[in-house]
Chain A
Amino acid sequence: MIELRNLSKSFVTADGPVDALRHVNLTINNGDIYGIIGMSGAGKSTLVRCINMLERPTEGSVLLDGRDLGTLSTAELRDVRRRVTMIFQGFNLLMQRTCLQNIMLPLKLAGVKKEQAVARAREMLEIVGLPDKENAYPAQLSGGQQQRIAIARALATNPDVLLCDEATSALDPKTTHAILGLIREINQKLGITVIVITHQMSVVQEICNRVAILENGAVVEEGEVAEVFANPKAEATKNLVYPEMADANVALGDKHGQRVRIIFNGAIAANEPLIAKMAMEAGIAASILGASTRAVGDRAYGYILLEIPGGPDELAKAVNFLRQTPDVTVQVQVDYARKEVEA
């Protein structure tokens, strides 16, 4: 279990001190795939580097199974870093060494005998599905393959925790999917706790069970992924969950009208044609201004933004109709501005 307690980090720059992290409190349980998401500059990378003490927190503590990492000696910290390993956006493989040598590196650093290290490295190549790349150099591999080698290297010392710092951000969607699949497999088969740093909600959605949203160095929201998706509270979360929402507001800003936002909080997806039914049964021909929905498991999350023609009566009728649908929240936007009233 990893506990971050009141963690703060500030850097001294030419323009004065910058607070990269502000009083972060998080608990990551064993076996979690824990997502930490935020826009660039939110402090994600600093946060993950505090977990293995690559960055020393200015304030607060990091507890690994109850042990305060800030109090450890350099030698003890090196042992911890064999149990809490890391993969990176840029893979960071040794370019002048073969894949096998790359995977053997952390073992050699730990003083493992050569034959044992070779055997272990081969085992790792098997796990990441590249047993034939033993003597290849990183430059001969694709990005996805390089990340697999990096994962093999991170797993070589048999860690308890794997930190992924934007590990899929340099990869195309298909490769991202494959790498995330591998990470999930590692989590399930080897029981390794995974912490995923990302700016992509799709990554969190695909593999994480819990998520924390970071904005300006502070955690603005935290919880089960499904819950956070269903009912994003903080503005930063909404922007991440529905990046198109803000766009819809801006694009149609000059057009006054009555708007209704239907938010799906995990409704059983595609059960009924909601908008068509509203047209037929309530006689309201709404136009769709914007929509963003996605499936998490077999449930739908997201929103549809509708414009309701007519006056307040039609609006009330539409809202009443929509609210009959289970697992759906209906919000009325009285004005085009961000001022929203819960219906």
Chain B
Amino acid sequence: MNQFARAFQPESLLEAWNVIREDFAFATWETLYATLLATFCAILIGLPLGMLLVAGDEKGICPMPRLLMKVLNVVINLLRSVPFIILMVMVIPLTRVIVGTSVGTLASVVPLVIAAFPFIARLVEGSLREVNPNIIETAQAMGATPMQILLRVMLPEAVPSLITNFTLAITTIMGYTAMSGAVGGGGLGMIAITYGYNRYRYAVLYASVIVLVILVQVIQSFGTWLATKSDKRLKK
């Protein structure tokens, strides 16, 4: 009998059930905690950065020096092109400086934020570029400052699109937290890897995946609902 089949024998399932009962609630909490905290911090950095990318563009509402924009774009692209699992290892020194350790859920938030903020900046950039340019011109014709255009016109107009994109970001970052389990992060990913990969407890691995799938489903459904509800272009 191979190890895969053995994982689903009654005694193995019972063992798995014990793991699920004892560890899953906390692991789920850790996953959510790392995901939401990382998303929040990444938005704090990514949202203004995305706004800057749009406003400072050559044809934007407040053109910035072209060199600055070029550097910003290159840095964002660089960060976006490093695979997350490698990035995690690369930033370990930084994580140690900020959190004091490179192991654990809180420590995993640091690489998560570094991986997610350029992603979010790009998403915000996309959302803001979708705003009807005629409306921006109208605001200019009203005597709005670039900052007023960003805060009072572009952001409010982009809200449904931003919600959709932030939902995408949360689900992607949740995928990253699971990956962080491989190099010391906590949560469902850590459970899946330590029990499933290292100890052939496939039942535990599948259970972790099912919980992750449910979490993603719930978050995605809520995000879609919220985006639709907030969009006043749809007649009701």
Contact = CB atoms under 8 A, between A and B. Distances in A.
A92 B134 contact: yes
B157 interface: yes
Contact of B232 (A85, A90, A110, A139): A139
A324 to B, nearest CB: 54
Q: Most A CB atoms within 10 A — which of B143, B148, B233?
A: B143
A267 interface: no
A86 B144 CA distance: 13
B20 interface: no
B131 to A, nearest CB: 10
Q: Most B CB atoms within 10 A — which of A54, A96, A157?
A: A96
Interface string A59-82: 000000000000000000111111
Nearest to B158: A96
B152 A105 contact: yes
A137 B229 CA distance: 13
Give the interface size bracket for B toward A. 20 to 34
Q: Most B CB atoms within 10 A — which of A105, A110, A138, A157?
A: A105
A236 to B, nearest CB: 28
A138 B157 CA distance: 12
A267 B133 CA distance: 48
A82 B231 CA distance: 29
Contacts of B157: 94-96
A85 B140 CA distance: 10
A238 interface: no
Interface string A129-169: 00000000111100000000000000001000000000000
B135 A85 contact: no
Contacts of B18: none
B135 A139 contact: no
27 contacts: A77-B143, A78-B144, A78-B145, A80-B143, A81-B140, A81-B143, A86-B138, A88-B134, A92-B137, A92-B138, A94-B153, A94-B156, A94-B157, A96-B157, A96-B160, A96-B232, A96-B233, A105-B152, A109-B142, A109-B143, A109-B145, A109-B152, A110-B143, A137-B232, A137-B233, A139-B234, A157-B142
Interface of A: 52, 54, 77-82, 85-86, 88, 90, 92-97, 105-106, 108-110, 137-140, 157
Interface of B: 132, 134-135, 137-145, 148, 152-153, 156-157, 159-160, 230-236
**What are the nearest 4 A-B pairs in CB distance?**
A78-B143, A81-B143, A92-B138, A137-B232
